[in-house]
Amino acid sequence: MPVSERYRPDPRFAGLGGEFADPVAPADFPKTILRFRNDRAAATVGLEGLTDAEWIAHFARFQPLPGNQSQPLAMRYHGHQFRSYNPELGDGRGFLFSQQREAQTDRLLDLATKGSGQTPWSRHGDGRLTLKGGMREILAAGLLEALGVPTSRAFSLVETGEALTRGDEPSPTRSAVLTRLSHSHIRFGTFQRLAYFDRADLITQLVDHVVETYFPHLADAPDRPTAMFAEVVSRTARLVARWMAAGFVHGVLNTDNMVVTGESFDYGPWRFLPRNDPNFTAAYFDHSGLYSFGRQPEAGFWNLQQLAACLVLVSPDQSGLIAALNGFSDAYRAALSEAMIARLAVTSQGGEADIELVNAAFKALAEGTKLDGGEALRWEPFFFDWFGGEASEARALEGPRGKLYQDPVFAAFRARLAGFAPDRPERLENPVFGQCEPEELLIDEVEALWTPISEADDWAPLNAKLARIESARIAYNLYG
């Protein structure tokens, strides 16, 4: 196969040894129909030159990539699910396939799967993923990336020709195997499993691996577990803040769904907010609203507490861990301010001024949502209309929500916004801002994208949507 110079395999995780993962074989699928390949993501690791046949050989048959892991590895982990500890988790329908360096940054990136077959950790599960589930993950990851959220990227989706039975989809339903590209799949739950077995030695080994592989600037820290933890706290705070500014509800914030490098991944029952609503819940099985929109910061903090409890076993000084944990709320508030300022595309003034603008924006969203029976102001259009602040005032007032913005509930927000200069206002020249409505992914649209695939194997609407999300990503260019 033609491997480019930019492809640099570096299978580090396998070097941790047999306590961390189990070699597994992929399922032998009856069919392999390529449905999605992310060549932009592939280019970041030098794999965009693969032919479709080679792509399928690697991302449906899982033939090893040259110089990479010789076998897929099902990772071992435990975790809290909805606050109950479950020692029977682990990669039950996925594995780590390969690791390679990102060409531009040199950072290590994982290619890992969902739906690639059974493993020792499948329990009673079939090890499979539904095609609809795969489609939903491609959409979520795509829009999150466009909105500046640190996220895994959907890399490949191959339909696999099996008929699956699921309680939450009309069954039988079609099967697929998804591959994602992300920085590390080392979960909070990876540490929890080691703590559960009282293996301080392995926790130390894993801390060293995480620091040396992902946080090399911390290599000389006198207390590596605490230094690593402080980094994870700050990355988690930033991740949660970016979800909040994106109006994203992950749905399943269990400790096995959070990784130490602070990207979100594993998009199951996710939803984007139709409109501002702290109680909005994504997963139909989340009866208490534990992971509702407004409770995501609390979920992030709670999960960090569980990680800290593992690191207590290996840190010489607990007070450092406690101090790092207590840094979460300040880190979250600062990250939320940064994320909201970025979404409004205005130039930060730092400190209090930013915070007051952010508070005014949230107040406008909350009050504005109550107008006109709650139908008028959706989450995403508010940010789209005011992108660039005052530089967008005419556009906002002439657009579909122009009349709404004349309401007094927006006065304080508009007055504050007027005091901020636009950030990179040339972005407003992008034709995306000539449209009346932004790209959203509300549940009705997601279902409407699935229907033609399900009924007529028509992928054109999905591909058109992905192209529009890509245009939005380029237009927003949120973090420069």
Residue nearest to ligand AMP (CB): 125
Q: How far is the CB of 257 from Mg ion (least distance, A)?
A: 5
Nearer residue to Mg ion within complex by CB, 152 or 257: 257
Structure tokens at 334: 């600062």
Region 267-306 residues binding ligand AMP, contact defined as CB under 6 A:
268
Residues in Cβ contact with 442 at an 8 Å cutoff, skipping those fewer than 6 apart = 271, 272, 274, 378
Residue 128 binds: one of ligand AMP, Mg ion, none (C-beta under 5 to 8 A by kind):
ligand AMP
| Radius of gyration of the chain from its Cα atoms, rounded to whole angstroms | 22
CB 226 within 8 A of CB 320: yes
Residue 92 marked ligand-binding:
yes
Residue nearest to Mg ion (CB): 266
Residue 378 in contact with ligand AMP, rule: CB under 6 A: no
Residue choice 10, 126, 208, 390 for contact with ligand AMP (CB under 6 A): 126
Residue 168 in contact with ligand AMP, rule: CB under 6 A: no
Residue 378 marked ligand-binding:
no
Cα 26 to Cα 30: distance, rounded to the nearest angstrom: 12
CB atoms within 10 A of CB 342: 20
Burial profile 418-434: b = 16 or more Cβ within 10 angstroms, e = fewer: eebebbebebbeeebbe
Q: How far is the CB of 129 from ligand AMP (least distance, A)?
A: 7
Residue choice 66, 87, 120, 125 for contact with ligand AMP (CB under 6 A): 125
Nearer residue to ligand AMP within complex by CB, 44 or 257: 257
Cα 317 to Cα 307: distance, rounded to the nearest angstrom: 15
Residue 262 marked ligand-binding:
no
What is the pattern of x (binds ligand AMP, CB under 6 A) and - over residues 73-92? Answer: ----------------xxxx
Distances in Å between the Cα of 315 and the Cα atoms of 173, 188, 252, 403, 454 are 48, 16, 29, 58, 52
Look up residue 266 and give its DSSP letter: -
Q: How many residues belong to the site for ligand AMP (CB under 6 A)?
A: 15
Residue 363 marked ligand-binding:
no
Residue 199 marked ligand-binding:
no
Nearer residue to ligand AMP within complex by CB, 187 or 378: 187
What is the pattern of x (binds ligand AMP, CB under 6 A) and - over residues 214-253? Answer: --------------------------------------x-
Residue 257 in contact with ligand AMP, rule: CB under 6 A: yes
Residue 93 in contact with ligand AMP, rule: CB under 6 A: yes
Cα 341 to Cα 349: distance, rounded to the nearest angstrom: 10
Structure tokens at 389: 């602040």
Q: Which of 91, 110, 256, 354 is catalytic?
A: 256
Nearer residue to ligand AMP within complex by CB, 78 or 416: 78
CB 189 within 8 A of CB 79: yes
Q: Residue holding tokens 């110079």?
A: 5
Cα 447 to Cα 467: distance, rounded to the nearest angstrom: 18
Residue choice 4, 71, 122, 471 for contact with ligand AMP (CB under 6 A): 122
CB-based burial label for 81 (10 Å; 0-12, 13-18, 19+)? middle
Q: How far is the CB of 128 from ligand AMP (least distance, A)?
A: 6
256 given a catalytic annotation = yes
What does the DSSP assignment read for 291-341? Answer: T-GGGHHHHHHHHHHHHHHHHTTT-S-HHHHHHHHHTHHHHHHHHHHHHHH
Structure tokens at 108: 């290590």
Please report which helix (H) or strand (E) contains residue 58, including its range: helix 52-59
Residue 269 binds: one of Mg ion, ligand AMP, none (C-beta under 5 to 8 A by kind):
none
Residue 125 binds: one of ligand AMP, Mg ion, none (C-beta under 5 to 8 A by kind):
ligand AMP
Nearer residue to ligand AMP within complex by CB, 47 or 131: 131
Residue 126 marked ligand-binding:
yes
Alpha helices per DSSP H over 345-401: 351-370, 379-385, 393-398
Residue 114 marked ligand-binding:
yes
Q: Crossing angle, helix 460-476 and helix 131-146, to 10 degrees?
A: 20
First-residue to last-residue Cα distance in the chain: 35
Q: How far is the CB of 177 from ligand AMP (least distance, A)?
A: 12
Structure tokens at 454: 């399900």
Residue 289 marked ligand-binding:
no
Residue 89 binds: one of Mg ion, ligand AMP, none (C-beta under 5 to 8 A by kind):
ligand AMP
Residue 266 marked ligand-binding:
yes
Interface residues with Mg ion (CB under 5 A)?
257, 266
Q: How far is the CB of 83 from Mg ion (least distance, A)?
A: 16
Q: How far is the CB of 251 from Mg ion (least distance, A)?
A: 11
Nearer residue to ligand AMP within complex by CB, 265 or 386: 265
Q: Residue numbers of the site for ligand AMP (CB under 6 A)?
A: 89-93, 121-122, 125-128, 252, 257, 266, 268
Q: Annotated active-site positions, please?
A: 256
Q: Which residues are annotated as a binding site for Mg(2+)?
A: 257, 266
